[in-house]
Structures are given as structure tokens and as C-alpha cells.
Amino acid sequence: MILGPGDRAPDFSLSDQFGRFLHLAEAAERGPVILAFLPYAFSPVCGDEIRALQEVQDDADAAGDELTVIAVSADSKYTLAAWGAERGVTLALGSDFWPHGKVARAYGVFDEVHGVAERGVFVITSGGTIVSGRQVARTQTRDFAIEARIAAATD
């Protein structure tokens, strides 16, 4: 079952697309976090979503907000590095490759049959509490304006 408001956000440490370690607790210390799970790098819907997430991060940076956007996929860090470079993405892309889908499972958004993360998205406070969580169908493109508004009102 997907985690929701009031739940403690499971901490994690993943490799990002550059091979650096990405820690949720460290990101949350700076301010709210939007954590978005994506099923497949290089797929059309994920391509639209990664652009939208980058815009959310760019808008927050331009406004001086301490928001961190993290996108997580079960793809390898090498796949994420190639995808990020192709898309011009600078936000953190976390590889939930091994143990396969461990972080997505912890948040209740892993599809065991297909071995991918579902389209779950969470807003997490600097204290590590989930204030918003939702999941949509794998074929649906999310509008992250909702999460951006919630994150701006958080902390």
C-alpha cells in the first residue's frame, strides 16, 4: 500500500546518475523534497515527466526556495546518466537498481510483476514526514504543480 500523509518517509541512499550517493535525509535537511518515482527512462511519458520535474526544480531555484526534486527509477545509474544527459536534466536521478526496487517497495509503489516503480509522487517535509502522496496509472502523465504548491507551503 502506498504511503500517505503523516507517514514517516523511509530514508534511503541511492547512487545518482553521476555515481554519487544521494541520501533522502541530507536532501530533507535543506528543505522539502518532492520524490517522484518513474517506471522507465527513455519512455515517452517519463520523458514528459522528467522535463516537468526539471521545471519544478528550476522554478524553485529561481525563487530561492530550498526545494529538492528527486526522481527515482529502477534503471541503472548508467541508463539514468545517458537519459539525463540527453534531456539536459540537472536534478537528482536516483537509481533503485539494486537491490532492485527496494526504495519503491518501501514507499508502496513497486510493481512486482513488471519489476518497475509505479508513478508515485510524495512531498516530504524537512522533518521527514510525508505530507502528500499519490499514484497514477503508468500511462498517465502527471502534472507536478500540485506537489510544487504543497512543497512551497511546507516548512
Catalytic residue among 46, 67, 116, 131: 46
CB atoms within 10 A of CB 33: 26
Residue 26 annotated in active site: no
Q: What is the DSSP string of 78-92?
A: HHHHHHHHHHT--SE
**3-state SS, residue 150:** helix
Q: Which amino acid is at 19?
A: G
- The pLDDT assigned to 101 comes to 97
**3-state SS, residue 136:** strand
Integer Cα distance of 105 and 63 in angstroms: 33
10-residue mean pLDDT series, the chain (155 residues): 97 96 96 97 95 97 96 97 96 96 98 97 97 96 94 86
- The pLDDT assigned to 25 comes to 97
- The pLDDT assigned to 155 comes to 62
Integer Cα distance of 1 and 113 in angstroms: 15
- The pLDDT assigned to 77 comes to 96
- The pLDDT assigned to 33 comes to 98
User: Model-level pTM greater than 0.95?
Assistant: yes
